[in-house]
Structure 1
Amino acid sequence: MTSVGIDFGTTNSVVAHFAAGSPAVLSSDEPPADWAGLGFDRVLPTVFGRGLDDRPIFGWQAKQRPGSLAAVKRLLRAEERAEVDGIEYSVEEIATLIFGHLKRSGAAQGVGFDQAVVTIPANSRGIARYRTKLAAGMAGVQVQALINEPTAAAMSYSMRSATEETLMVVDWGGGTLDVTILRNVEGVFMEQASKGIQKLGGLDFDSALARLVLDTVSDSDRWTQDERTGFRLDVERAKIQLSELEEVSVPLPGGQYRRITRPMYEQVIQSQVHRVREPIEQCLKDLGGSASDIDALVLVGGTCKTPLIRRFVADAVGLSPAPGIDPMTAVAEGAAVASAILGGDLDDRDFFVSTEHALGTKVLNPNVGLVFSELIPRNHKLPARATETFTPVRDFQDQLQVEVVEGDPEKPLDDDDNVVLKEWTITLPEPRAFGEISIDLTYSYDVDGILHVHGEDSLGNVVLDEAVSYGASVDKRELTRIAQRVSRTLDEDRIAGPPGPSASSLSAADRQLVNDVQAKILPFIDDAEATQLRSAVTRLEGGDASAAAELQAATRQYSYLL
């Protein structure tokens, strides 16, 4: 089995595989000549567009075309649909197509894979985690695990330094900032504290530099769409060059240039850079220690190449950044290490992750109104589980309204850090008089940080059972159609998994498999597709041991529904 890690980034995505005892990065795209030498030879810009023949295009081909969509990962937090060159797509379909392109790119280099470890920002909500895993699955990539990007970066660093130590990882990419403290004990990585800012990254620094230039231009409102696209790329390149050069010239449409010095650029981003102090201090506070407890400082993400950021973080922590780390590829390399661990190819390392947000519900406090009632605290090791009991407030009440929140219970409920992941109207199948019935809601994070909610009333009725995804519910029929379209678009066959164990009678695992097929797959696929599954279920329940293997293999193509 090939051990593969995917860094599905806001601005750039990277694929690495574990081979000959170490991770190696695949070349996913080829940058234009004027971007050569800037570190983009092994990354794919996470940009999606439509070519002249209406076929999907990716990476640099899309990035240089007006109307393309960048920063796809940011949309997984809340958006349902996005417009690309005048055509509306679901966000899941765009993300799925990008995962499929990465998979196809790996196969073209002789590294075929149908499973991988995928990274996610440490501060990512359960919604984004769910949708990321869903998109990868629909592209034919079974997600071995979702791991936090800072943990992956630490694991990449550990391949160069096996010392037992406490690490602080500052992961600052194109869209998000994460600060995480981890403990490396004999090759086992344990997250100790994590705090981040969800919308602060290289894209925001691009905007600051663009404003600096545009303040000197009087006719930018007359630029064409092609000229605006070119200007945006020139600004991004100038930002990157300022990490190495003291000054650059930014070309403008019409042949003019604007000279920008590094001090000029640092002045306009200074207030944003200083925001990294808050998550650094919060992590140290959560750890109950000080900067002197940190043994190594690991900086990853393209934004961490900025000299001002490197100086500021080094001063805040009192340590120089660890050498020998490529900020652009370290996360993917660490994900490949994690894949090797899970696949048994690397047995002297392991990892554990924690929650970055507290989880709770909205409850009514008679004195102050609605408040955040915490159930699972921040920095709790995953998996995590908690149960809350709800009681109707009047006789024969037939419905309950429940809202689940991720965020910070120390802040006001309406603070931007507090996000309502999902709300449910739960119907009681057997309404009773006040005090005669209650509902237990069990919230559980799996090891990927995806939230699952199960509800039972005190009479034994199951009233709720689902993973938390965006919106009121996931249209699973639409997801099936997306997966089919993506498969045709990428011209790839669906991948059947290895046969499962057979049994002469229904074991607990086989019973769970049958239940999943009947409840989660059959209602959402066409009758023609369901025929094989129904036949296998009937034979398995009738005692045909070989049907277990057939059923398990047949359901792998629908893993995104499970």
Structure 2
Amino acid sequence: MTFGIDFGTSNSVVARWTGNGTEVIRVDSAALPAEWNRPGFDELFPSVVSLRDIQRTLCFGWSAKCETAEPQDAVKRMLASRPRAMDEDESLPAGTVPEEHEVWFGDEPFRSTAVAAALFDQMRAGVRRNLREMEEAVVTVPANATGAARYRTRAAARLAKIKVKALINEPTAAAISYAHDFPGEGRFLVFDWGGGTIDVTVLEHYDGIFDEMASRGITALGGLEFDEALVKLVLAKLGTHPDRLTRLEARRWRRHVELTKIVLSQPGTDQVLFEPLGGLPPVVVHREEFEEAVEPLVRRALVPLDECLQDVGLTAHDLDAVLMIGGTSQIPLVRREVERVLGKAVVDARLCKPMTAVARGAAITAAEIDGLVPETTISVATSHDLGLSFEAGGRRGFATLVPRYSTLPARGTRSAMPAVRGASKVVLEIVEGDGKRAADDERTFPLARLELPVPQPGAEPPSNVFDVDYHYDRSGILKVHAKARHTGAVILDEELDCFGPDGTPIAQGLDRELERLLRRVTEPAVSEAVPVPPTTETSFEHGLSPESTGAEETPSLVVDGRGIMTAGRTAASPRPPSVRLLGSALTAIKRRYPDHRVVTVLGTDLVDSVEYEDRHIVDRGVGEGLIVTVPASSPQLVLSVAQQLDAVVVSMEDLTRFRTPHPWVTESGRFVKLARVDRDWLFV
């Protein structure tokens, strides 16, 4: 069965070829929350991964996006970018390749490729729930994706046991989908603006051939930046900053902002009532205010539009259709500005569905590869200049091998030889970027640093000439073939898939990393290293802290705070955990054990649920070492803290099931059970 996958920054979509058309597979619609149940949203799979707040198990899609405090999105951006922003006075050493981003879940880091693979794995599982099996697919990438993004995207799909038949650029996929539904030839301009990137592409469609002519874009400009602009607008209207929001509230704030943006983008909506959390008053956000706030972002997005037309020497009058795809492109201001600049109307969103056209086009491409779509040929062009980096008077020069907009497959050749007699190797520093700029420019991405061993180091350089062939396949994956000219011996013949400074292939070890990550779906992520508080303490307000003894050798007493803060509350109770109740218990504990240093253990899930007016009490306790926070509230982590401090444990649970792994709890004086009777605290 033939599938297409649009792997997006904010959302992904899976489609399949049905024989004469395409259909979208709803891989996560069962988890769609009611407030997000809008037309077409059931076709989306949010590209989000997270740990559940309480269970600390891994979740994906709508559950990760809307039900957790720390959702991890924009993984797609990580596949293309450097792991950290370089300072102005800092540069990568010659030949050094930037490392890959890492994403932390609990106490474990995972490479971005492994996290992306987990998302592909979940899409495959969603297709299986629809009684189908997705073993191969065409996967889309941004038109201006770097080599790193292409390799890592393909590697991620491969890890999820999805054979990648081809990588195709997103704008081309959208044009294929439109041309399939509304047959016609001509020049198309595709304005692709989604959650993370913007790409503007001009392509021709004639005699069943889709040929990219030019593409320009910005890799970090999209819906995420619009969300940030809306947050700043709301804060300005409030005249304050909700800097005391818990992670739970911050997550709700963020999703509320995104929903507000979506509602303001609907035709006929002029204003939205935004109700902040934390006791802040509601404010009305008008569409005019929102458009004024995001107008600078729209201006930036129009730059690649102009550049793209200039690259091919065309004007808007030379275009037969303008397609706008991606969620951000549907904002009314964006559509109006594109129409104003081009002086012509864009294709109606009902004729080229902005959120699913890319996946549909990918499915059609997969069918074309299988020979199921006669008289159709899809041709993709390179989006960057491919070249070699070399020393050039303090900067790195850029020698172009394959120019931008070369139709794939594409090839470039160049000879190489040692600079001096006696050299043992010839180094090839391969880069992608703009050949008109220096190779150490921030917009140039180093692909690989290859070393060719010199066959006869003692001979003159002309006797050690290499003929090197650089070949892009149809998916834009680069292969390098080098042979010694005088002997014909093949020195190098490999596909470039290394992006680590040590030349480690990106797939090495990722299968085990993905397996470890997916175990988190059922196994809670628990931090092994529990921070130990300082040996002294300082009192703080509302009776949460007992009096300090000031003695460094004071015996310790560790309190299981969860049972106390939720005493008398059921799972169905709407009341949040009580800081006042904990303060009351600690006062009784300190009265009973005046010579002990008291430390309270709380899970971050519990801390996130504390009432707004009491959060500063908990924050202060954490800052002063009187409260230790752990990833999730559990007696086992309480015992871990107590064992490190050699402390007495106070809990409202009897801890019977933990006495085998922690036999020291059975020792005399190591465990005290706390009980609440009416308004009194009793010690057993």
Length-normalised TM-score, structure 2: 0.68
Which ranges in structure 1 are unaligned for 5 or more consecutive residues?
492-562
Q: Residue 420 of structure 1 is aligned with which of 446, 455, 461?
A: 446
Give per-residue Cα distances to partners, 1:245-302, cap 9 Å, x unaligned: 1111222113532221111111121111112322222222222221111010000001
Instruction: Identify if the C-alpha distance between structure 1 residues 466 and 430 changes in structure 2 by more than 3 Å, giving closer, same or farther.
Output: farther
8 Å Cα contact 1:358/1:409 also seen in 2:
yes
Output the CA distance in 1 between the equivalents of 2:241 and 2:339.
Answer: 41
1:8 CA displacement:
0.4
Contact kept in structure 1, 2:79 and 2:112, CA below 8 Å: yes
Deviations 1:61-111 (A, max 9, x none): 111212231011111114342113443112122111111110110111123
* Counterpart secondary structure, 2:400: strand
Identify which of 465, 468, 476 aligns with 1:438.
Answer: 465
Q: Which amino acid aligns with 1:372?
A: F
> Out of 249, 258, 278, which is 1:236 matched to?
258
**Counterparts of 1:144 and 1:476, CA distance in 2:** 18
Query: In the alignment, does 2:514 pair up with 1:479?
Result: no
Partner of 2:405: 379
Which whole-Å CA distance do the structure 2 matches of 1:258 and 1:266 have between them?
Answer: 17
Name 1:505's counterpart in structure 2: none
**Shift in Å, 1:392:** 1.4
Question: Residue 18 and residue 359 in structure 1: after superposition, are their counterparts in 2 closer, same or farther (change >3 A)?
Answer: same
The answer to whether the 8 Å contact 2:173/2:359 transfers is yes
1:341 aligns with 2:368: yes
| Structure 2 Cα separation of the partners of residues 267 and 487 of structure 1 | 43
User: Which of 1 and 2 has greater Rg?
Assistant: 2
Deviation at 1:365, TM superposition (A): 4.2
Superposition RMSD on alpha carbons, in Å? 2.1
Q: 1:486 & 1:438 partners in 2: Cα distance? A: 47
Q: Which secondary structure does the structure 1 equivalent of 2:464 belong to?
A: coil
Task: Measure how far apart 1:486 and its partner are.
Answer: 7.0
One-letter amino acid matched to 1:16 = A
Give the whole-Å Cα distance in 2 for the aligned partners of 1:196 and 1:214: 30
Residue 354 of structure 1: SS of its match in structure 2? coil
Q: Deviation at 1:483? A: 5.7
Is 1:330–2:357 an aligned residue pair? yes
Partner in structure 2 of residue 264 of structure 1: 289
1:206-227 C-alpha deviation (Å, 9 max, x unpaired): 1111122223352411110111
Structure 1 Cα separation of the partners of residues 508 and 108 of structure 2:
21
- C-alpha deviations, 1:185-239, integer Å up to 9, x for none? 1332111111111111111111111122223352411110111111110111111
Distance in 1, Cα, partners of 2:483 & 2:473: 20
- After TM superposition, give the deviation of residue 475 of structure 1 in Å: 5.7
Distance 1:87 1:213 in 2: 35
Q: Please point out which of 110, 121, 124 is paired with 2:131.
A: 110
The farther-off stretch of 401-410 and 117-126 is 401-410
- Check conservation: 1:393, 1:434, Cα contact below 8 A: no
Match of 1:126 in 2: 147
Q: Which residue of 1 aligns with 2:682?
A: none
Structure-1 residue corresponding to 2:494: 465
Tell me: CA distance 1:71–1:221, structure 2 relative to 1, closer, same or farther (3 Å).
same
Cα distance between partner residues in 2 of 1:467 and 1:171: 28
Letter in 2 for 1:33: A
Q: CA deviation at 1:54?
A: 4.5
Match of 2:416 among 390, 397, 406: 390
Instruction: Tell me how far 1:461 sits from its aligned partner.
Output: 4.7
In structure 2, the residue matched to 1:66 is 69
Partner of 1:399: 425
1:358 CA drift (Å): 0.7
Q: Which residue of structure 2 aligns with residue 536 of structure 1?
A: none
- Distance in 2 between residues matched to 1:310 and 1:476, nearest whole Å: 41
Aligned partners of 2:328, 2:20: CA distance in 1, in Å? Answer: 29
Q: How many Å apart are 1:319 and its aligned residue?
A: 2.0
Query: How far 1:339 sits from its partner (Å)?
Result: 1.3
| Cα deviation digits, residues 16-48 of structure 1 (max 9, x gap) | 111141111111223211111253211011001
1:304 maps to which of 319, 323, 329: 329
- The CA distance in 2 between the partners of 1:224 and 1:247, in whole Å, is 28
Find the counterpart in structure 1 of residue 276 from structure 2: 252
Q: Is the 8 A contact 1:67 1:85 kept in 2?
A: no
- Determine the structure 1 residue equivalent to 2:386: 359
Note the C-alpha offset of 1:148: 0.4
1:46–1:98: 8 Å Cα contact kept in structure 2? yes
2:110–2:513 CA contact under 8 A, matched in 1: no
How far 1:466 sits from its partner (Å)? 3.5
Match of 1:44 in 2: 45
CA gap 1:249/1:331 in 2 versus in 1, 3 angstroms: same
Q: Shift of the alpha carbon at 1:400? A: 2.9
Offset at 1:484?
Answer: 5.1
SS of 2:134's partner is: coil
> In structure 2, what is the equivalent of residue 77 of structure 1?
80
Structure 2 equivalent of residue 177 of structure 1: 198
Unaligned runs of 5+ in 2: 82-99, 523-684
Equivalent pair of 1:118/1:147 in contact (CA under 8 Å): yes
d(CA) in 2 for partners of 1:391, 1:6: 43
Q: Secondary structure at the match of 1:220?
A: coil
Q: Is the 8 A contact 1:394 1:433 kept in 2?
A: no
Q: Answer yes or no: is the 8 Å Cα contact 2:477–2:495 preserved in 1.
A: no
Q: Residue type of the partner of 2:386?
A: L
Answer yes or no: is the 8 Å Cα contact 1:452–1:466 preserved in 2. Answer: yes
Q: Is the Cα contact below 8 Å between 2:211 and 2:378 reproduced in 1? A: yes
Give 1:77's aligned amino acid: A
Over 3 Å counting, the alpha-carbon distance change for 1:284 and 1:476 in structure 2 is: closer
Aligned partners of 2:58 and 2:521 also within 8 Å: no
Q: Check the 8 A contact 2:497/2:506 in 1, yes or no.
A: no
Please state whether the residue corresponding to 2:189 is helix, strand or coil.
strand
Instruction: Point out the structure with the larger helix share.
Output: 1
Aligned to 1:514: none
**Would you say the 8 A contact 1:68–1:84 is kept in 2?**
no
Distance 1:258 1:452, change over 3 A: farther
Show the counterpart of 1:290: 315
**In structure 2, how many angstroms separate the alpha carbons of the residues matched to 1:310 and 1:224?**
37
- For the residue of structure 2 that corresponds to 1:336, the secondary structure is helix
Name the counterpart of 2:168: 147
